[in-house]
Chains A and B, each alone.
Chain A
Amino acid sequence: MSFDIFLQYFLSGITVGSIYAVVAIGFNIIYNTTGIINFAQGEFVILGALFAITFTRTGFIPLPLAILFAVLITTGIGAAIEIVFIKWIKNPSVLRLIIITIGISIISRETAHHIWGEQVMQMPYFTGTSTSSVIILGASIAPQVLWVLGISGIIVIVLQLFFKFTLTGKAMRACAANRTAARLCGINAKMMVTLSFMISAAIGALAGCITSPITQTQYDMGSPLAIKGFVVAIVGGLGNSTAAVVGGLLLGLIESFSIIFIPNAFKDVAAIIILLVILFFKPSGIFGKKEESALKEF
């Protein structure tokens, strides 16, 4: 196989992987503060994109502003969901919370269906059009992928800084490590959970906006995206944003290169087998630490 073809498969893998990665990041925030997996994460992604598309279609809201509004609205929805469905539960068991998030996911999806209908929509490309591409050493990639990679990178860095250096970030991590102890130290644990839902919703919405030109957006696309994002988050090591990005790119590359050897229909099989092997040898994920995962409930 010549080098430029090899590079083309590589870039295809990066394209798909960047989408998985940016969706996976959102899972980690809520997991970090509550220890639960939010199965409505995919719906945040779709809602963000749908709002942004609606705003851009009005014709007089510029793209960056449309994305900002969409992110703000989705953040509000994230907060509302937490306050209405989760906050009042006295003794939240992990299983109970997870089932609630599945319910939320179904409600959001059906609501989106009623509002936006079943049509496929998409955001305009940030740079260029649907036909433009960037040529790298004879292989080509859509400029939008570079946007996705760049913005994912910025999200990861900002999150790292936030969790490591701000008081709120530290408080959120404290809640994850030991909720009772955190409350004894005067941290408002319930507030932190609300905040984590807001951040997750914001990241999900942003992910939806930047990937929409590539993936297109339809009301029921959330679940398949969330499943891939979930797998990636697990493989990378739950709770770690950098790991999510690496895991996402890895899954994308495995899928892309497997197509060389086997029919495309089986690419998920190849990917899942490799992921299972990774988890078999390192159950806490590629970047997860054994001691850390032992502390967590799920």
Chain B
Amino acid sequence: MKCKNVIIAGFIILTLLCAATVFGMGNKEKDTIKVGAILSVTGGGAFLGGPEAKTLEMLVEEINNTGGVDGRKIEVIIKDSQGSTENAISFAKQLIEEEKVLAIIGPSTSGESINIKSICEEGQTILLSCAAAEDIVNPVASYIFKTPQKDSYAAMKIFETMNKMGITDIGIVVGNTGFGKGGKAQLEKYAPDYGINIKIAEVYEASATDLTSVLTKLNNAGIQAVVNWSIVPAQSIIPKNMKQLGMSQPLFQSHGFGNIKYVEAAGEAAEGIIFPCGRLLVADVLPSNHPQKAVLVKYKNDYESKFKEDASTFGGHAYDALMILIDVIKKVKSTDKAKVREAIENLKNFVGTGGVFNFSASDHNGLAIDSFEMLTVKNGKFMLLY
């Protein structure tokens, strides 16, 4: 009896061992690195998530065709959140618990990113957000990073330029989205530091079709410049309305304006708009010794030849997120979440599309204020302001 039990037990153990070996071998063969991505491919944030998703597809194809990461293939599971926080939350849980991904790239918008921050932190899964708001990495959470420049830098950069131009009294208008409200808060926070006086601040509907009345109100407040902070189509309605009203004040926009389609939509009225932006849009005119030149030109050319549309800075944020991840995996030669996380935190001088990243325990964005360049529109094209 006893003997029989031992035999059975031995048999079971042997079977398990065999299974484990087979499983292990299989695992080694298709030992892919699984990365999740939550992007607003459709919906209100489609102009962000669309280029981001395309960029990731392009990179994954390129990396896997050229031997993968240290011989391992990479797999990116893209989930379309449609810009909704609820979707982002459930996808984050699914990616962490079921797919057991190493890291999540995205979400595209600030609201979604802030809402899944705690889920990723508790699930000890790296989050590389592609959204702008400073709150994503402030306060710092150990597993949460972001690749776009902080919106506070955009505000400071705008005020710096105003100081140079001798502008003190301004009016601001923002779209009623998370991005717009975040921008308004940053502008109001940093204006006193630069001696700027915000005389009037107004919020408009994201679906606004004509803004001459609110601009009339701004004009009557006696201002020297207008700042518009939004990601909605009103970005091209404002310059048109200002010209139609005969307002001659300079118009500053946020980094949300970094899409040539908005310039096309505004036509002649877009001339002279000033806005802070990453260097992707002016990659061609950067001096050849600029550290970012090579990365920017390659990404821009690859993207534009593959998808037959203009590259945008937003796709660049996803590029940076995936490339940072791959870079550190190669460095630590492991996909252990804690090790990779630590390696990102210690990553220095990583040249991306957004700027040169120098992460630290207290800075999970890693970009400095000089990652923004002030651009302007000249003859329907983006140009460096200085």
- Residues of A that sit less than 8 Å from B by CB: 5, 8-9, 11-13, 15-16, 19, 113, 117-122, 129-133, 135, 140-142, 211, 214-216, 218, 220-221, 224-225, 255-256, 259-260, 263-265, 268
Contact = CB atoms under 8 A, between A and B. Distances in A.
A267 to B, nearest CB: 8
B269 A131 contact: yes
Given A215-B210, A259-B213, A118 B237 contact: no
Contact of B203 (A118, A211, A264): A264
Contact of A255 (B213, B217, B261): B213
28 contacts: A5-B216, A8-B213, A9-B216, A12-B213, A16-B213, A113-B42, A120-B233, A120-B261, A120-B262, A121-B261, A121-B265, A129-B269, A131-B268, A132-B244, A214-B209, A215-B237, A216-B209, A216-B236, A218-B233, A224-B207, A225-B209, A259-B213, A259-B216, A259-B217, A263-B202, A263-B203, A264-B204, A265-B203
B265 A118 contact: no
A264 B319 CA distance: 38
Residue of B203, B213, B268 with most chain A CB atoms under a 10 A cut-off:
B213
Which A-B residue pairs are the 4 nearest by beta carbons?
A118-B46, A130-B267, A12-B213, A224-B207
Contacts of B245: 8, 133, 140
Interface in B218-240: 220, 233, 236-237, 239-240
Contacts of B217: 259-260, 264
Residue of B217, B244, B265 with most chain A CB atoms under a 10 A cut-off:
B244
B121 interface: no
Nearest to A129: B268
Contact of A119 (B240, B246, B261): B261
Contacts of A141: 244
Contacts of B237: 215-216
A119 B262 CA distance: 9
Given A215-B209, A263-B203, A265-B204, A120 B244 contact: no
Nearest to A138: B246
Nearest to B267: A130
A117 B261 CA distance: 12
Interface string B232-258: 010011011001111000000000000
B178 interface: no
Given A9-B213, A121-B261, A131-B267, 5 more contacts: A19-B209, A118-B47, A129-B268, A131-B268, A214-B210
A265 B174 CA distance: 10
Residue of A120, A141, A215, A259 with most chain B CB atoms under a 10 A cut-off:
A120
B307 to A, nearest CB: 11
Interface string B180-220: 00000000000000000000001111010110111011001
A214 B244 CA distance: 11
A140 B42 contact: no
Given A119-B47, A263-B202, A264-B204, A130 B210 contact: no
Contacts of A122: 236, 265
Given A15-B212, A130-B266, A131-B243, A268 B233 contact: no
Given A15-B212, A259-B214, A264 B244 contact: no
B262 A130 contact: no
Nearest to A260: B217
A221 B207 contact: yes
A77 to B, nearest CB: 22
B50 to A, nearest CB: 6
Contacts of A140: 244-246
B115 interface: no
Contacts of B50: 117-118
Contacts of B216: 5, 8-9, 12, 259
Contacts of B262: 120
Contact of B212 (A8, A131, A211, A215): A8
Contacts of B202: 263-265
B151 to A, nearest CB: 20
B176 interface: yes
Nearest to B269: A130
A218 B244 CA distance: 22
Contact of A265 (B176, B207, B209, B210): B176
A215 to B, nearest CB: 4
A132 B268 CA distance: 10
Contacts of B261: 119-121
Residue of B44, B46, B209, B266 with most chain A CB atoms under a 10 A cut-off:
B209
B268 A130 contact: yes
Given A130-B243, A260-B217, A268-B205, A216 B265 contact: yes
A133 B207 contact: no
A224 B233 CA distance: 14
Contact of B240 (A130, A218, A268): A130
A56 to B, nearest CB: 13
A13 B265 contact: no
Contacts of B268: 129-131
B42 A133 contact: no
Contacts of B173: 264
B220 A5 contact: yes
Residue of B205, B217, B220, B246 with most chain A CB atoms under a 10 A cut-off:
B217
Residue of B210, B214, B239 with most chain A CB atoms under a 10 A cut-off:
B210
A13 B267 CA distance: 24
Contact of A131 (B204, B205, B244): B244
A255 B244 CA distance: 19
Contacts of A259: 213-214, 216-217
Contacts of B244: 131-133, 140-142
Nearest to B200: A263
A57 to B, nearest CB: 11
B243 A133 contact: yes
